[in-house]
Amino acid sequence: MPVPLTELTRQHAALESELRAAFEEVSTSGQLILGPHVRRFEKELAAACGVQHAVGVSSGNDAILLALLALGIGPGDEVITTSLAYLHLAESIARVGATPVFADIHPRTFNLDPETLPGKITDKTRAILPTHIFGLPADLDPIQKVAAEHGLKVIEDCDMAIGAGYRGRVVGSIGDVATLSFYPTKNLAALGDAGAVLTNDASLADRLRRGRVHGLEKNFLVRDLGGAFRLDGLQAAFLSVKLPHLAGWTQRRRELAERYNKLLGPLPLTTPFESEDYEHVYNQYVVRVRSGGREPLRLHLDALGVGSRVYYPRPLHLQPCFEPLGYHPGSLPVAEKASSELLALPIFPEMTREEQDEVVDAVRDFFLGD
Ligand SMILES: *Cc1c(COP(=O)(O)O)cnc(C)c1O
């Protein structure tokens, strides 16, 4: 039985009549971009994330770009970020004309390691941009402390971590501003591209709202350039259908992860980091396989039809596009090692026990033979 890494058709089948009704409502309203469905979703999202303002945008990528623009970060500025992440963090920093400064990760959590921050701060540093990798919150208290000491902004990238908990708080409500993606692989998935920016700062929220429409103010006036980062009414209406289910889906992901931990724990691999301080939402269930075992395991699972994926095969500081920044192999050893040893296994709320058993058997078979 093949098992996909993730899939949405079961979720959509279960919600079919509500999704169709949302489509009818938007299509007959004629208000297709921004408008009332976006405003409604923004209110619901802000409440769910424990923040004052949510601003719907066109993707998680555009959320980061817009947040950086709205904070006034640009040429001459430096932003510290993690090297083990999707492209959009470092890319957006570079796109606004600032310089990404890559910090190494913690070897057990794979999140930006706060201990490395002091060595990265210069008089050009303006912000710290951690992600909550795989759905596990970054260690925000020490990050916030360093930021406060140096007058830096903290931008939380919550793409993989909507609803995750850090010491009793919800991610996205802790830093100065936070970004979300509703890309179809995320825990709250649109039926296409969508994203959002969260903040408790009303004047920043105004800049974000203007910035997603080119920075336009009344009478075709533009003081600060933005871009075309608008959210569609249709995606917002679909997301409003799905948002009430998110907590239940997250609970299901956590149960699946707990069962994986139990069944895979005895094997020679490392299961994800767990701690009472963190509520992981398992956008990805990622194991670490040492001693060159990752690629053979990946091929073994592939041959059995079990989905898996490498997040991320190349740390960002070693991308050719960032070569001018002067990093080289060995610059960030923890991130480099992790990128050769991590493998994501199938996890999604609708996954059956039989499917999970199939994954576990395939992994067990790789290490122990049958
Ligand atoms: C989050 C994510 C993206 C990007 O989504 P955006 O909304 O465009 O930022 C792309 N690919 C994968 C695998 C992702 O997890």
Residues 359-368: tens digit of each pLDDT: 999 999 999 9
Which atom of ligand 1 is the closest one to the Cα of 194?
7
- CB of 339 within 6 A of ligand 1: the answer is no
What is the Å distance from ligand 1's center to 184 Cα? 8
Same domain, 290 and 218: no
- CB of 183 within 6 A of ligand 1: the answer is yes
How does residue 370 score in pLDDT terms, banded at 50, 70 and 90? low
Residue 343 lies in a domain: yes
Residue for token pair 């990093």? 327
Same domain, 186 and 128: yes
Same domain, 280 and 309: yes
Residues 121-133: tens digit of each pLDDT: 999 999 999 999 9
Residue 4 lies in a domain: no
What is the Å distance from ligand 1's center to 6 Cα? 14
Judged against a pLDDT cut of 80, whether residue 65 lies above it is answered with yes
What is the Å distance from ligand 1's center to 190 Cα? 12
Number of domains in the chain: 2
How does residue 356 score in pLDDT terms, banded at 50, 70 and 90? very high
What is the Å distance from ligand 1's center to 150 Cα? 31
CATH of the domain at 30: 3.40.640.10
Same domain, 143 and 240: yes
Residue 340 lies in a domain: yes
**What average pLDDT does the chain have?**
97
- CB of 288 within 6 A of ligand 1: the answer is no
Final residue belonging to a domain, choices 220, 244, 268 = 244
Domain encompassing residue 309? 246-368
How does residue 284 score in pLDDT terms, banded at 50, 70 and 90? very high
Judged against a pLDDT cut of 90, whether residue 1 lies above it is answered with no
Which atom of ligand 1 is the closest one to the Cα of 185?
15
Residue 2 lies in a domain: no
What is the Å distance from ligand 1's center to 181 Cα? 7
Which atom of ligand 1 is the closest one to the Cα of 63?
9
Final residue belonging to a domain, choices 227, 244, 261 = 244
What is the Å distance from ligand 1's center to 193 Cα? 9
Same domain, 229 and 254: no
Residue 304 lies in a domain: yes
CATH of the domain at 272: 3.90.1150.10
Same domain, 261 and 345: yes
- CB of 135 within 6 A of ligand 1: the answer is no
- CB of 166 within 6 A of ligand 1: the answer is no
Residue for token pair 């501003």? 177
Same domain, 321 and 263: yes
Same domain, 157 and 18: yes
Residues 190-242: tens digit of each pLDDT: 999 999 999 999 999 999 999 999 999 999 999 999 999 999 999 999 999 99
Q: Whose CA is nearest to atom 7 of ligand 1?
A: 60
φ and ψ at residue 131, rounded to 5 degrees: -110, 160
- CB of 283 within 6 A of ligand 1: the answer is no
- CB of 185 within 6 A of ligand 1: the answer is yes
Q: Whose CA is nearest to atom 13 of ligand 1?
A: 185
Q: Would you state the pLDDT for residue 107?
A: 97
Residue 3 lies in a domain: no
Same domain, 292 and 233: no
Same domain, 228 and 325: no
Compute the distance between CA of residue 125 and CA of residue 319 in angstroms, rounded to an integer.
22
Residues 6 or more apart whose CB falls under 8 angstroms from that of 1 comprise: 305, 354, 355, 358
Give the chain as a 3 state SS string.
Answer: CCECCCCCHHHHHHCHHHHHHHHHHHHHHCCCECHHHHHHHHHHHHHHHCCCEEEEECCHHHHHHHHHHHCCCCCCCEEEEECCCCCHHHHHHHHCCCEEEEECECCCCCCECHHHCHHHCCCCEEEEECECHHHCCCCHHHHHHHHHHHCCEEEEECCCCCCCEECCEECCCCCCEEEEECCCCCCCCCCCCCEEEEECCHHHHHHHHHHCECCECHHHCECCCCCECECEHHHHHHHHHHHHHHHHHHHHHHHHHHHHHHHHCCCCCECCCCCCCEECCCCCEEEECCCCCHHHHHHHHHHCCECCECCCCCCHHHCHHHHHHCCCCCCCHHHHHHHCCEEEECCCCCCCHHHHHHHHHHHHHHHHCC
CB burial of 263-284 (b: ≥16 within 10 Å; e: otherwise) equals: bbeebebbbbbeeeebbbbbbb
- CB of 86 within 6 A of ligand 1: the answer is yes
Give first-to-last CA distance, the chain, whole Å.
17
Same domain, 52 and 106: yes
Same domain, 274 and 224: no
Q: What is the mean pLDDT of residues 262-287?
A: 97
Q: What is the mean pLDDT of residues 243-250?
A: 98
Write down the pTM of the prediction.
0.97
CA 119 to chain centre: 26
Asked if 81 and 130 touch (Cβ cutoff 8 Å), the reply is yes
Final residue belonging to a domain, choices 229, 244, 259 = 244
- CB of 173 within 6 A of ligand 1: the answer is no
Q: Any bridge partners for residue 56, and if so which?
A: 196
Mutate to test the pocket of ligand 1, among 84, 88, 281 (most ligand atoms within 8 A of CB): 88
% of the chain residues with pLDDT over 70: 100
